[in-house]
Amino acid sequence: MRNLKSITAAMLLVCAGIATPFAATAQENNVIDEVVWVIGDEAIFKSEVEEQYRQMQYEGQKIDGDPYCVIPEQLAIQKLFLHQAKIDTISVPDATVFQQVESRMNYFIANIGSKEKLEEYFKKSVTEIREELAEVIRNTGTVQEVQRNLVKDVKITPSEVRKYFSRLPDDSIPFIPLQVEAQIITLNPRIPQQEIDNIKARLRDYSDRIMRGESDFSTLAILYSEDGSARMGGEIGFLGKAELDPAYANVAFKLTDTKKVSKIVESEFGYHIIQLIEKRGDRINTRHILLKPHVSDKDLTDALNRLDSLRTDIMDNKFTFDDAAAVVSQDKDTRNNKGIMVNQNTATTRFEMSQLPQEVAKEIDKMKVGEISKPFIMMDRAKGKEIVAIVRLRNRIEGHKANMSDDYQELKSIVEAEKKNEIINNWIKKKQSETYIRINDGWRNCDFQYDGWIKK
């Protein structure tokens, strides 16, 4: 667990074309371990701190203070939240973890080239990398869920925002960086019928082998499923209908016999066969095998050409981008909204460049307002497949000092964040006072962010 986050960091650097010595040295640096902090019944090890420090250096993260003070404190805070999660029985659903792991793995493999190259670089099997990513995602999600519970009742009124802004000295007014508004049209490359027929034939073969008792569903899922749940024998945990793909849920909830296998199900992720494990009220636990159709270079090129023709028609005023998005686009999140992209972080249509998908930001960066990009290939990270897209720049808001008329939502977010931070900070201080804490000599002489680590 101690090198979990560093794998993600190193992967991102590799994908960006930056070499890091992590994979080569992680196995070589054997530090004589010692417990340096104790939080409740959890220990923080010196090697844990050292490794976190190395990874932050690789990422180029600035550490505000002595790393041997800052890092143990960060780890201690995480342990406080994870301990609270146990008390409140808060956990992240396995399905959520699997989906995020799968999404990240697909992205990393697409950028580094292949599973084999990924394993070669990190000197770990894909299974080991998945397991370590899963634990990082699970812990991060658990901490976030505890924090959400703490601040779920925070509500900000317009009068609070006005009051906050009116009290700001001129030199403290927030600077709003460059933001853009964009529309997008996406197409999924055509999948040849032969590819679909081959996938269905494979799934029918798996189903027949299971029903004849020749193979176990879990074993086949481990060997062949292209979903993150493969390592769990295809099991995705108890979920409600709303948490599942509609096509998957429609078939899964009709299953009654745990020994039988469903018909082949087509979802937005690919093709599945499903087996019921258990039903509990309105939730169901199933296992599945997922196979994804693979797109050929020719199919990608054909899709690019289709979008290029569509772009030409829009520019010739045969119809508008808005109309084309509603009729042609296969992006379910935007096609009913004239193709307008919505920032999930802020629930507005404005994006900072770093908040856009990388491929979209690259196109938008060189465009003028009203222009439509040429077709390009991008990765649908949720589904782990390549799609093609065009984007239109609707608006560009240059960086500026915030004002109430143009930036109310951003100012509201700042006020909300400050109130939430205050609640979380007070919670940490209270938790410190209630928790057994021991810090070894040599690790105590620090200017900590929170004063309560050393009992007086």
To the nearest whole number, what is the mean pLDDT of the chain? 87
The model's confidence at residue 47, banded by pLDDT at 50, 70 and 90, is: confident
Residue 165 has pLDDT above 60, yes or no: yes
Taking the C-alpha atoms of residue 51 and residue 71, their distance in angstroms, rounded to an integer, is: 10
Poorest-pLDDT segment among 14-18, 69-73, 374-378:
14-18
What is the pLDDT, as a whole number, of residue 382? 66
Tokens of 379: 């990765």
The model's confidence at residue 106, banded by pLDDT at 50, 70 and 90, is: confident
Taking the C-alpha atoms of residue 68 and residue 80, their distance in angstroms, rounded to an integer, is: 19
What is the pLDDT, as a whole number, of residue 370? 96
What is the pLDDT, as a whole number, of residue 130? 81
Q: How much is the average pLDDT of 204-228?
A: 94
What is the pLDDT, as a whole number, of residue 238? 84
Q: For residue 190, which amino acid is it? A: R
Q: How much is the average pLDDT of 7-29?
A: 39
Backbone angles phi, psi at 396, to 5 degrees: -130, 120
213 or 101: which leads in pLDDT:
213
Q: What is the CATH number that goes with domain 4-153+420-453?
A: 1.10.4030.10
- 193-291 topology per CATH: Chitinase A; domain 3 (3.10.50)
Residue 277 has pLDDT above 50, yes or no: yes
**Domains 178-190+296-398 and 193-291 alike in fold:** yes
What is the pLDDT, as a whole number, of residue 59? 60
Poorest-pLDDT segment among 5-14, 190-199, 265-274:
5-14
Q: Is the entire prediction scored with pTM above 0.85?
A: no
What is the pLDDT, as a whole number, of residue 26? 38
Distance of alpha carbon 362 from the chain centroid: 20
Pick the CATH number of 178-190+296-398 from 3.40.50.2300, 3.90.1170.50, 3.40.50.170, 3.10.50.40: 3.10.50.40
Cα 226–229–230 angle (5° rounding)?
55
Residue 435 has pLDDT above 50, yes or no: yes
What is the pLDDT, as a whole number, of residue 32? 63
Cα 293–334–386 angle (5° rounding)?
25
Q: How much is the average pLDDT of 86-113?
A: 79
Q: List the domain boundaries for the chain.
A: 4-153+420-453, 178-190+296-398, 193-291
**Cβ–Cβ < 8 Å for 90, 83:** no
